[in-house]
Structure formats: structure tokens, C-alpha cells
Amino acid sequence: MKPQLIGLIKEAHGKVFEMQSRAKMVPVALALLLSGCGVDEGGAPPPGGGPTPTPTPTSTSTPLPPTTAVTQRVVTSFNTPWAMTFLPNGRLLVTERGGALFQVTASGSKTRVSGVPAVDASGQLGLHDIALDPGFATNSTVWISYAEPAPGGQRLAVARATLSAGSTPQLQGLFVVWRSTPTTTGGHLGARLAFSPNGQFLYISTGDRQQGSPAQDLSNTIGKMIRINLDGTPPIGNPFVGNFGAKAEIWSLGHRDPLSLVVAADGRLFSGEQGPNGGDEFNLITAGSNYGWPLVSEGNNPDGSPIPRHSTSSAFARPLVAWTPAIAPSDLIQYRGTRFSGWTNDFILTGLVQQGLVRVRVTGNSAAEVGRIGLGARIRALKEAPDGRIWVLQDGNPGNLVELTPS
């Protein structure tokens, strides 16, 4: 065979070998890449034994920069609104602290819902949160939290009722499922509601009623996170079940004024909490943990005198993020949509003092603030609409209901 031909054959064999080697490296590299991806808490690894799936091609387009400005559309207004939730038909239910509940259309038409129980609307108290039952599609049940008048003061009550829709909506068959103990006076009621992903449990935030020390006492439900079954009983897996003198419904303790609460996509529970003078907190809430109030704080006393920090004791769970000066967080969502570029899966807190939205990104067990949007008003509550827009409630009277879209 001629030398030139032999050379050409060797060169061709070399290229074939190189192509085969590269083809073998692709699945190996892909496997190495996937091995570095974590599994969400509560999730399961992919089953073994089956064929290797064909990788889905990924887009090579450059991601859009995060949304940094929004357009506000005022929908309607309320007298000191406190909370809202979307109905499956796109309408909203909005609570007013004074004790009124409204059904609202996207165009701003309001209809008052009857059957709301009597509330104590003194000071910071009144009608507070509202949430749809996990089985709302079949049972039309809604849950509300409110300050219930009682001898000696007030207590936080959590009730469920059937929402009768139509031109004259009303709450029917209202039943109080859980009450805080003891009855007392003061602000800082907490009163946020959040359901577990499986729909079996309800989490309730309770504040310290501006009394401080009860938050460290397991014999009461003041300054705590509560977890109950939907019939009001404590689940057997709660951390203080069987502890002599402890309230079995307690999930965590040492809370001052936890006005925001959300269960994330991975099943973990997060809260925003207002500090005494600075020291607002974004917390990952875990079973049995003590968050320190009033023994430690990232803020100071109202008179400026110092409070020991969380770092002074390993007995207390530290906030993932703390703010001084205060932002005064009052509500919280995890954004699941894509309309606001760069926000998907970030946590959005409302700011009463900050007068806008604060965006926090969680990575594992760490978190950091990644952006702010000023809205020019004290923001009491927010919710993500089914179409990915964000709706907010301004604090005060009038407190506008505002739809936000990216600018």
C-alpha cells in the first residue's frame, strides 16, 4: 500500500477515535453535573434501574435582568385592610381590621361578606388573616384569624366557615377551631395562617402581646408558632408533645411579632418578624427551636439600651437575615411565577417602614437580601395572582388595593 494512502487511513482512524471519546464524555460530564444538584427537603432521589432519560436541550439565550421597577394600578380602596387571598375564579377576599370582609373583582367591584364574627378592633387588633382550605375546590371552606373579645382582654381565635358565593356572599357554619391561651391584653397578636404542603396541618403565628417573657414559657401559646391538625388537635409529631406543662400545639417559641408566614415550595416554613428597635428578622422555622425573644435580639430596646445578640448563645436559632434600620415586615410570599424577571422562587416581604417590597433569596440554609422595590406607601399585605402579577394592600385608611406589573 502506498505511504500516502496509509497516512490517510491512520488520520481517519484518529478522528473516529477522537469523536468516539468525546461522545463517551458527554453522559459522564452530564452525570457529574447532575450529581452536584441537591434534592429539595422532603423530596426523593430519582428511581434507579430504568433507562437514562434523554437530556432536554437548554436554552442558550441570555437571561433577562431582574425586575427593578413596577407599574402600579389602583384597583379599589379599603378602611385599614389587613389580608387577602385569591379565589379560584380570580376574585379576592379582603379583610379589614375593623371586622369587615369583602369579595372583590379584578375591576374593583366590592361586595361585603356577611357572617363574620364579632372582633375586638382596639389598638393593633381586629380581623386579621384569611386563607382557603386545602380542599376549597370541593368544600368551599375558608379560615380566618381574629382578636376574639373575652373576659380579661382578648385572645387569638382561628375559625373555619363555608363561603356561600353569589350576589350575597356569606360565611356559614362558622366554627372556632383553636384559641390562644391565656386571655390577655396588648398588641402583637401575630395571626398569620399557613397550611402544610400535604394539607393536613395548619401553622399559626402568635405574637408576645407586647409582654416579652411569655414567649419563653411553654405553658402558654403567646409568642409561639403553632401547628395543629385541621380539627384543632395537636399532631402527635409536635416537638413538645408529652412535655409536662407544655402546650402540645407549640411548634417553636421565642417570637416577638411574627406578622408573616409562608410554607415554601420545598415544604419548609419561613417567617418575617418585627424587632423591638431595628432587628427585624427573616427566619427559617424548625420544630422545637427557640428564636430567643426577649432574651436575645438583633435590635435594641425602644429606649436604645442594648439587648444581647443571638451570637451570644448557641441555645437560640439565629435569623437568616436581620435588618437595622427596620423594614417592619408584615407579610411574605415565595414568588412562584415568571412575570417578574429574576424573582422566581425568591421570597418577597412587605415593608411598613420600608414602604415597598424586599426580596430575599434562600440558598440551602442561608439567605440574603437581593433587591428592593419602593412603592411610596406602607404595605400591609401581598399575594401572587394566578397570572403571576403581584397584588398589594396599603396600610391605613384609605388603604388601596394595588396590582403590580413589571415596568
Query: Which residues does the annotation mark as catalytic?
Result: 188
Contacts of 16 (CB under 8 A, 6+ apart): none
Distances in whole angstroms, Cα of residue 191 to Cα of each of 10, 32, 203, 210, 281: 78, 46, 10, 14, 17
374, 387 contact by CB (below 8 A): no
User: Dihedrals φ, ψ of 370, to 5°?
Assistant: -125, 0
Looking from the CA of 31 toward its CB, the CA atoms found within 13 Å total 6
Contacts of 259 (CB under 8 A, 6+ apart): 190, 191, 192, 205, 207, 272, 273, 274, 329, 330, 331
Distances in whole angstroms, Cα of residue 136 to Cα of each of 166, 301, 389: 16, 43, 22
235, 268 contact by CB (below 8 A): no
Length of the chain: 407
